[in-house]
Amino acid sequence: MLTKRIIACLDMDGGRVVKGVRFKNLRDAGDPAECAAAHARSGADEIVLLDITATSGNRNTLLDAVRSTAHSLFVPFTVGGGIRQLDDAAAVFDAGADKIAINSAAVRDPTLIGTIAGKFGSQAVVVAIDARKTGNGFEVYVSGGRVPTGRDAVEWAREATACGAGEILLTSMDRDGTQSGFDCGLVRAVAEAVSIPVIASGGAGSARDFIKVFRGGRADAALAASIFHFGLENISELKSELSDAGIPVRWPC
């Protein structure tokens, strides 16, 4: 049976893993390669590394981190942040990523999705969407959550799928880092609108939150960062709780 994936996310700034609340107040959480290996050992099904302050000036810092993280990691590894064109993606794949995540650049130019998918396959292209609740829906934000686009998240997810995206990584900005639970309404709206897997992100605080987003939110995978970094929730314990609740997970792994 296909299992629900638990994905550990490493937000990276200047070569270090950091974690903030609602995209602000960053705290240091360690070395990316060490964090990734530790998460994989404790049962993470995938690792995502996001360069949250990516600028063209620190591309080499990112590529070094990708190389050292990928070196002895044998679960799927996704890298995002600052990928603006095919060459940026190619460099990240070359450094050892299995998938890339694109966000702002895809909103600006949706054909980028197809360009990268055409060369590396749709399975390698994750479209990351940061969304915030509005009066009657969810609005897409870009540039690390700083710039509202006026676009509807469900519509954008549909378009990204049609352009060749392999998965959607959907972050609720309202819940990011709050540990108050995933936004199941947002996740379900997108999961029901697209044919590709949806990774829920933002708000993970307890095993109960994961159970809710897999059941009610219809998520295919769920991602968390802070709860894993600071040891609040061990991934193996989380999986054992999910398994007891009847959620199919890769456990033991």
Partner 1 sequence: MIALVDYGAGNLNSVKKALDYLGAEILVTDQPEILAAADRIVFPGVGHFSSLRALDRAGMGKALLQAASTGKPLLGICLGMQWLFEGSEECNDIAGAGIFPGKCRQFPSSVKSPHVGWNSVTAKEDSRLLRGIAQNSFVYYTHSFHAPLVAETTAATEYGLPFSGAVERGNIFGVQFHPEKSGDVGLSILKNFCEL
Where on the chain is the footprint of partner 1 (CB under 8 A)? 1-5, 40, 45, 70-72, 74-76, 93-94, 96, 98, 120-124, 166-167, 195-197, 220-221, 250, 253
- CB closer to partner 1 out of 52 and 127: 127
- CB closer to partner 1 out of 52 and 235: 235
Q: Least distance from C-beta 94 to partner 1, angstroms?
A: 7
Q: Which residues contact 82 (CB under 8 A, 6 or more apart)?
A: 51, 54, 55, 56, 59, 62, 88
Residue pair 51/80 in contact by the 8 Å Cβ criterion: yes
Q: Which residues contact 61 (CB under 8 A, 6 or more apart)?
A: 14, 15
What's the CA gap between 87 and 136, in Å, rounded? 38
- 51 catalytically annotated: no
What's the CA gap between 81 and 132, in Å, rounded? 19
- CB closer to partner 1 out of 165 and 207: 165
State the catalytic residue, choosing from 11, 13, 88, 220: 11
Q: Least distance from C-beta 131 to partner 1, angstroms?
A: 21
State the catalytic residue, choosing from 88, 130, 176, 220: 130
- CB closer to partner 1 out of 108 and 119: 119
Q: Least distance from C-beta 18 to partner 1, angstroms?
A: 26
- For β-strands 221-224 and 5-13, DSSP reports them as parallel
- Residue 182's closest CA among 161, 198, 160, 194? 198
Q: Least distance from C-beta 173 to partner 1, angstroms?
A: 25
- CB closer to partner 1 out of 5 and 132: 5
In the beta sheet, which residues pair with residue 8? 47, 224
Tell me the residue type at 130: D
Q: Least distance from C-beta 118 to partner 1, angstroms?
A: 9
- Residue 251's closest CA among 59, 46, 43, 11? 43
Q: Cite the active site residues.
A: 11, 130
